[in-house]
């Protein structure tokens, strides 16, 4: 019985290694409050090259668009207009060299909430 258990364990390790997904820099973060606006930021990319998406998941009823600002290490970087997609507002900044260890934040006009995420090196 002991030999069978060891063999099963030995076979499970390579299987687990082959099914693991590759490292990725994709990440997201949202404000977490029981009431009020919920704002999220999503980074898609690899290492220091990311696109940044700002999402307001529960904007005020009837809102079809709203200005959203991207902050880069605390400094205002760029403001664009987020548009309604489904029940949320969103805008995506195209992939750019964000570097690693960079704090990126998004804030929608009319909301006091700000969502932030830090870029990270994930390997090649």
pTM: 0.76
Percent of the chain whose pLDDT exceeds 90: 64
Q: Does domain 23-118 fall into CATH 2.60.40?
A: yes
Task: Flag whether pLDDT at 9 surpasses 90.
Answer: no
The number of beta carbons lying within 10 Å of the beta carbon of residue 119 is 21
Q: What is the pLDDT of residue 36?
A: 78
Delimit the domains of the chain by residue range: 23-118
Chain segment 25-35, per-residue pLDDT in tens:
577 888 876 67
The model's confidence at residue 10, banded by pLDDT at 50, 70 and 90, is very low
| pLDDT at residue 27, as a whole number | 78
Label residue 68 by pLDDT band (50, 70, 90). Answer: very high
Distance CA 10, CA 19 (A): 15
pLDDT digits (tens, 9 = 90+) for 73-119: 999 999 999 999 999 999 999 999 999 999 999 999 999 999 999 99
Instruction: Round to whole Å and give the CA distance between 10 and 31.
Output: 43
Best CA proximity match to 70, nearest among 112, 110, 115: 115
What are the Cα distances from residue 80, in Å, to 47, 51, 99, 101?
Answer: 24, 14, 21, 24
């Amino acid at each position: 019985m002991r030999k069978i258990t060891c063999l099963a364990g030995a076979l499970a390790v390579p299987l687990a290694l082959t099914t693991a997904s590759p490292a990725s820099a994709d990440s997201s973060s949202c404000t977490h409050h029981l009431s009020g606006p919920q704002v999220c930021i999503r980074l898609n990319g690899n290492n220091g090259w990311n696109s940044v998406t700002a999402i307001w998941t529960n904007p005020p009823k009837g809102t079809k668009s709203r200005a959203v600002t991207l902050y880069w290490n605390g400094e205002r970087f760029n403001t664009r207009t987020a548009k309604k997609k489904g029940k949320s507002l969103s805008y995506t900044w195209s992939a750019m060299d964000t570097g690693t260890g960079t704090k990126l934040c998004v804030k929608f006009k009319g909301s006091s909430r700000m969502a932030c995420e830090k870029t990270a090196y994930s390997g090649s």
